[in-house]
Amino acid sequence: MQTLAIIIAALIWLALATSSSRAAESVERLVAGAAKEGELVFVAGSETFGGRKGFGELGAAFNKKFGLNTKINFAAGPEMNSMAARVITEVKAGRASTDFYLGSQSHYALLHQEGVLEPVAWSATFPWITKEMEVLPAESVLVYTSLNGIIYNSTLIPKDKTPKSYADLVDPKLSPAWAGKIAIPPYVQWMADLSLLWGQEKVRDFARKLVPLSGGRLRYSEEERVVSGEFPIMANIGGALEHMWMWEKKGAPLVAVTGSSPPITSYFQLGALKKSAHPNTAKLFVAFMMSKEAQTIIEKYDGRTTHLVEGTRLAKYLSANRIKLQPPAEAMAAYIKSEGGDGLKFKEELAKMLKQ
């Protein structure tokens, strides 16, 4: 029995040793490949990861970590939904204009379904990436966790009228304060997520009441238009708390409230793309974004972090407020499941309502 235990232990040790030496070898190979490629291209919304400034610092830290001299190109492109559509089109046509992609569950479900993601054994290759961080196993990793919520300009919404939840947005006692001025996002995913808490019928009713109150459509990167007062309130935005924290630093009057309990959570992921022009650098950079040093830079410029890296602001916030989030991979799997049949029809129905 003792002999058997020793053999099993030896086998486990051998497997671990082989895997870790292979991982080290793989990282080395990727670094060597990246050195040959010499360049990386990332296209995303102009303010992603702190825009040019934040991305510049990330690039410098990446080069330092791996001893590279890679030219890091960040180009302001369309927002995530449009970019996902573009990436799929490009990969199918044989050429991706960005080396990796940033998006949440809905985008990655689409990318996964269309088969445009490059398979990478993330947690097996990179020692600092845990299995839990792989949102789509062997395809994407969690770069930041984002709690959705309402944001408003505190100088324009009277204190006694401030919304505490999504339901308040359509409350006839409160809604006159923002009727005709509230911005709603042009996406339906947050309402589809809300239906998991409220049920589809209640969300349908909510959407029917909310759309006529709206004064415009703002994408998730346009919170400055609430800060400026162009729209005094926005019905939902990804990373509501992080936006508030970022604008607080500049003295801007932006307040965020998570509109539901538990909060609607978006898991933003990075993944390398097939037909990328710089495949090795892409994999290495995506992995680097999960490191503590990268998370510190992202937090500094963008205010966002993943709750899975210890010591980040969000990890502390969730712990302090005793909020427990669903494991990302589980949430992703549930999302993909909800995409079929009824879920898809519901989203199409919501999209039609938003066009009004």
* Residues at the site binding other proteins, with contacts judged by CB under 8 A: 41, 43, 45-48, 51-53, 73-79, 81-82, 85-86, 88-90, 92-95, 97-98, 106, 110, 114, 156, 181, 183, 186-189, 214-219, 221-225, 227-232, 247, 250-252, 347, 351, 355
Task: Report, in Å, the least distance between residue 225 CB and other proteins.
Answer: 7
Q: CB of 177: closest distance to other proteins in angstroms?
A: 13
User: In 3D, which of 61, 43, 49 has the Cα closest to residue 298?
Assistant: 49
Burial track 204-241 (b if 16+ CB lie within 10 A, e otherwise):
bebbeebbebbbeebbbbbbebbbeeebbbbbbbbbbb
Q: Which residues contact 87 (CB under 8 A, 6 or more apart)?
A: 96, 97, 98, 101, 111, 116, 273
**Nearest distance from C-beta of residue 276 to other proteins, angstroms:** 13
Smallest gap from Cβ 219 to other proteins, in A, equals 7
The values of phi and psi at residue 39, to 5°, are -150, 155
Least distance in Å: CB of 356 to other proteins?
9
Residue 115's CB is within 10 A of a number of other CB atoms, namely 10
Question: Of 250 and 324, which has the nearer Cβ to other proteins?
Answer: 250
The CB-of-53 to other proteins minimum distance in angstroms stands at: 6
What is the layout of strands, in order, in the sheet containing 100-103? 100-103, 265-272, 140-147, 134-136
Q: Name the β-bridge partners of 101.
A: 271
By C-beta, is 281 or 312 nearer to other proteins?
281
Rank residues 41 and 308 by Cβ distance to other proteins and give the closer one: 41
Q: Which residue, 41 or 289, has its beta carbon nearer to other proteins?
A: 41
Q: For the chain, how big is the Rg over CA atoms in Å? A: 22
Going through the chain in order, the beta strands assigned E by DSSP cover 39-44, 71-76, 100-103, 134-136, 140-147, 149-153, 182-184, 214-217, 233-237, 254-257, 265-272
**Contact predicate 233/152, CB 8 Å:** yes
Beta carbons of 125 and 23 less than 8 angstroms apart: yes
Residue closer to other proteins (CB basis): 113 or 319: 113
Instruction: Compare residues 78 and 137 and give the one whose CB is closer to other proteins.
Output: 78
CA distance between the termini of the chain: 72
Q: Using alpha carbons, select from 40, 33, 112 the residue that is nearest to residue 73.
A: 40
Measured from the CB atom, the residue of 290 and 297 that comes closer to other proteins is: 297
Distances (CA, A) of 164 to 151, 155, 168, 187: 10, 16, 6, 22
CA distance linking residue 265 with residue 240, whole number of Å: 10
Dihedral angle at the C-alpha atoms of 8, 14, 16, 17, nearest 10 degrees? Answer: 160
The smaller minimum CB distance to other proteins, of residues 126 and 285, is found at: 285
Which CB sits closer to other proteins, 17 or 75? Answer: 75
Q: Cβ 104 to other proteins, closest distance in Å?
A: 13
CB of 27 to other proteins, least distance (A): 27
Rounded least distance, CB 223 to other proteins, Å: 7
